[in-house]
Chain A
Amino acid sequence: MSANAAKRYPEVWRRRTPGETLAGWLWIAAAAFATAWSVSALDIEWVFFKDAHVQAADLAERMWPPRWAYLPQILAPLVETIHIATLGTAIAVVFSLPLAFLAARNTTANGFTWAVGRGLLVASRSVNTVIWGLIFVAVFGPGPLAGVAAVAARSVGFLAKLVAEAIEEADRGPVEAIESTGAGTGQVYLIGILPQVLPVLIGTTVYRWDINVRESSVLGFVGAGGIGLQLYASINQFMWQQVLVVLLAILVVVILSEAASAWIRGRIS
């Protein structure tokens, strides 16, 4: 440094410009304001918190020991839960393909069809599976059929969104090659684009299936079939030892399906 001794170097350095600092503080202020607004308006009864741990301990005590005799009765609903997830996902796959082609910018017919596709996508995705369940119970009456429809309705948008993105990113090369042979639009989609997006579709389908197993476990709360019905009934009848059995069964099924899904996806890619 002796060579540079004559030269004066600045003694101040700031990580951020004043503008960036101000923006940072504004974000913090906005977050603080949002929090204050949220907590104050929820008018929380803090007294409830005082004995919550006592109540929780009491609940845990009443759950123990699990009433294993209940297990045989819930095996059929457990299988039904998985069926609902699988069938719902399968139906969603069938409907998601046309919807994806409709909602992808490069394959939709015109601006209007694109808007329709996007609108359906948003509607399907924004409504939770359980709320779809509520709607389909009104339509089909209580039972697993409503559950299958609910799972399908929610999953269509999920699958179609990801497939539409894959279509938009699809390689133009094969598409142009098939167009040049004079093939119709349908053939171009079928031969030029579908094979390119198939891996995405399969991967997301398997992934969605294991989410759907978890979702199906609560569809029974609104009467749409599956193990949720038994759980809800046991809770409402204060049969806590039964509740524990159902919870453990759900735990096992969900973890197994998650592992299966991860294994299959690992093998595909």
Chain B
Amino acid sequence: MIAAALAYLAWSVSSLHVDPQRLLAGFGRALNILERMVPPDFSRWELLLKGMEESLQMAFAATLAGVVLSVPLGIAAARNLAPRPVYLAARGFIVAGRTFHEVIIAIFFVKLFGFGPIAGLLTLAFSSTIFLGKMLAEDIENVRAGPIEAVRATGAGFGQVVVYAVVPQVLTRSVGTAIYRLDANLRHSTVVGIVGAGGIGQTLSASFSRYDYDFSAAILLGIIALVALGEWFSDRVRRKLR
């Protein structure tokens, strides 16, 4: 087992053609870049702030769109609510949609809608819908059947059964998932800019291509602060929900 792992490691390392010279040169260059990154240049804070604001807006709008669209998708992908063909179609859509990295989806939206935050927004909305839909479907499938039977037995209609027996069982978890997704969208909003889909990632990508490393450092610190803050907020809210 260990021998096989070592053999694989050797094979993969050799196939990547890692050149020790380049590796060493890299460390030298890393020091150089690091030197140029310090001190971070916050003089263009307006540009930085605008990028972060755009990322935040993309994340908010995409989460909301995802929440709204994930409800029909989640119901369609729940084995215990949806008819079989609808269930299979919805599951297939989820599997295919989850496979592709946000950046791949973003590049298609950039091709369709042009450069800018709209492509980023649509990308994040798309992947949020898939993610939230999958989680909702699983929550619905794990609902206890007993209360549904009991509420039906009182003579309640379908809407009342959903409101009284299904919603209470999935609501808290769903709100928690949505808040987690808001946090995840904030992270992802920093990266879709790499292919021109707006947000702070686009600002960062531009600064790197100009070798503007002290500004890059400022942007990176901004991203770290933004993402850490988002995670702290989402952890807090979710802990309160429990």
Chain A residues within 8 Å of B, Cβ to Cβ: 31, 34-35, 37-39, 41-42, 44-45, 48, 52, 55-56, 59, 79-80, 83-84, 86-87, 90, 122-123, 125-128, 130-131, 134-135, 138-141, 143-145, 148, 214-215, 217-218, 221-222, 225, 228, 231-232, 235, 247, 250-251, 254-255
- B181-222 vs A, Cβ < 8 Å mask (1 yes, 0 no): 000000110110011000001001100100101000000100
CB of B227 within 8 Å of the partner chain? yes
What CA separation (Å) do A140 and B25 show in the bound complex?
8
Contact yes or no, A38 B61, CB < 8 A: yes
Residues in B lying within 8 Å of A, measured CB to CB: 8-9, 12-13, 15-18, 22-23, 26, 29-30, 33, 53-54, 56-58, 60-61, 64, 95-96, 99-101, 103-104, 107-108, 111-114, 117-118, 121, 187-188, 190-191, 194-195, 201, 204-205, 208, 211, 213, 220, 223-224, 226-228, 231
- Contacting residues, chain B, for A34 (C-beta < 8 A): 60
Chain A residues with CB under 8 Å of B12's CB are 83, 86-87
Residue contact A86 to B8, C-beta cutoff 8 Å = yes
4 extra interface residue pairs, beta carbon distance < 8 Å, beyond A38-B60, A39-B61, A59-B112: A42-B121, A48-B112, A135-B208, A140-B23
> How distant is the Cα of A222 from the Cα of B187 in the complex, in angstroms?
18
Q: Decide if B191 touches A131 in the complex (CB within 8 Å).
A: yes
Majority SS at the chain B contact face: helix
Q: Is the interface of A mostly helix, strand, loop or mixed?
A: helix
Question: Are B118 and A214 neighbours in the complex by a CB distance under 8 Å?
Answer: no
A35 to chain B, nearest CB (A): 5
- Complex Cα spacing A35 to B226, Å: 19
